[in-house]
Structure 1
Amino acid sequence: MANLTLIFAEGAVEPTAFGLNATVWVSIAMLVFLGILVWKGVPGAIAAMLDKRIAEISKQLDEAERLRLDAESLKAEYEAKLAGAVKEAADMRARAESEAETLVAKAKADATALIGRRKQMAEDRIAAAEATALTEVRAATAKAATAAAAALIAEKHDASADKALVDQAIAGVAKG
């Protein structure tokens, strides 16, 4: 066997069949194989399978595009809603601040009016107390003066002084 390998290795003789070498036979086998594939419709089946796959991919791309457009539409809608909510929140805050300022101003005005009314009531009570006290002092003074005058009259006048006073009063009435 070593000698046989040497002979082929030296390239002495190349095998042939019907006068055709191995390269020609491989080429013929390939042509026959390709012919059978074409005769059985394999290229059409492969083309149909590829067309079907292309259609599926195209359908998936169309669906993806539709979903992208829907997502963009939803995004724009929610951005608009967010902007509206932000504006509404700002408006609500401004209204609340305005109402708070109004309430504070009203509370200040009410407190000032209440203080004024309470002050006036206190002043009125003080004036009434002063008038009552003044009246009581005058009454007490008049009572004390009357008592003192009665005591002085009783002490200084007797029946003869009373007679002279009565005579003097009658004379004054008669002149008049």
Structure 2
Amino acid sequence: MSGNGLPEVIATDAAQENLAVTIEDGQAGEHLEPTLMGMEPYQWVSIAMLVLLIIAFAGAKVHKTIAGGLDNKIKAIRDNLDEAKALRAEAETLRAEYAAKIAGAEKDAEAMLENAQREADGIVAKAKDDTTAMIARRERMAQDKISAAERQAVDELRARAADASTAAAAKLIAVNHDAAADRALADEVIGQI
């Protein structure tokens, strides 16, 4: 670094000759820019751009190419917009169609639910009727069995009573009746005939 706080610059002899800097009282002087035919570099750049544009537009007809490219790009964008509109219309149609299908499916589901409820009610009612009829049949069968058992018990009781009375009568006859009483009874029966 130099004594004034600025970095040291190494310069060549050619650069030293083209640079005219005057230093007075420790201050830096004016820096001179290179020029060509009295024009600054930015002026030369402007002239070069102007010449390039004149050649491009006049000679190569670049403006037509640029306009054609822009027209093609505009057409492609319009085509894309038209396609997007058509797709949107198709999507809206599909959405409406599916909304109608969903509404129809909901109505069908409600009708199926109502039919299922009616069928379930019918099945429950039939089951109640069948159960009632089965209970009535079983009660009749039980009553018939009870009646049959009562008749059989009565018949068995009568048969036992008849057997017991026959046995008792035979015993009484055997005890109270002898051979003479048998002859008298036989004679009486013969006489009645």
TMscore range, shorter length: 0.7 to 0.9
Please tell me the residue identity of whatever aligns with 1:49: G
TM-score of the superposed pair, with normalisation by structure 1: 0.75
1:78 to 87, 91, 98: 98
* Residue type of the alignment partner of 1:62: D
Q: Per-residue displacement from partner, 1:64-97 (whole Å, max 9, x unpaired)?
A: 0111012112212211221222122222212211
Q: Which runs of 5+ in 2 are unaligned?
A: 1-19, 21-46
- AA aligned to 1:39 is A
Q: Which whole-Å CA distance do the structure 2 matches of 1:117 and 1:99 have between them?
A: 26
1:120 equivalent in structure 2: 140
Deviation at 1:167, TM superposition (A): 1.8
Q: Any idea what the Cα deviations from partners look like across 1:88-114, whole Å, max 9, x if unmatched?
A: 222221221111111111111111111
Aligned length, in residue pairs: 157
For residues 83-94 of structure 1, the aligned pairs below 5 Å read: 83-94=103-114
* 2:130 maps to 1:136: no
Indicate the residue corresponding to 2:183 in structure 1.
163
Once residues 168 and 37 of structure 1 are traced to their aligned partners in structure 2, the CA distance between those partners, rounded to angstroms, is 172
Structure 1 residue ranges (4+ consecutive) displaced by more than 3 angstroms after TM superposition: 29-38
Q: 2 CA distance for matches of 1:169 and 1:66?
A: 130
Opposite residue 136 of structure 1, the aligned amino acid is E
- Correspondence 1:39 to 2:52: no
Give structure 1 stretches of 5+ with no counterpart. 2-28
Give the TM-score taking structure 2 as reference length.
0.69
> Which has the higher mean CA deviation after the structures are superposed, 68-77 or 139-148?
68-77
Q: Which amino acid aligns with 2:136?
A: G
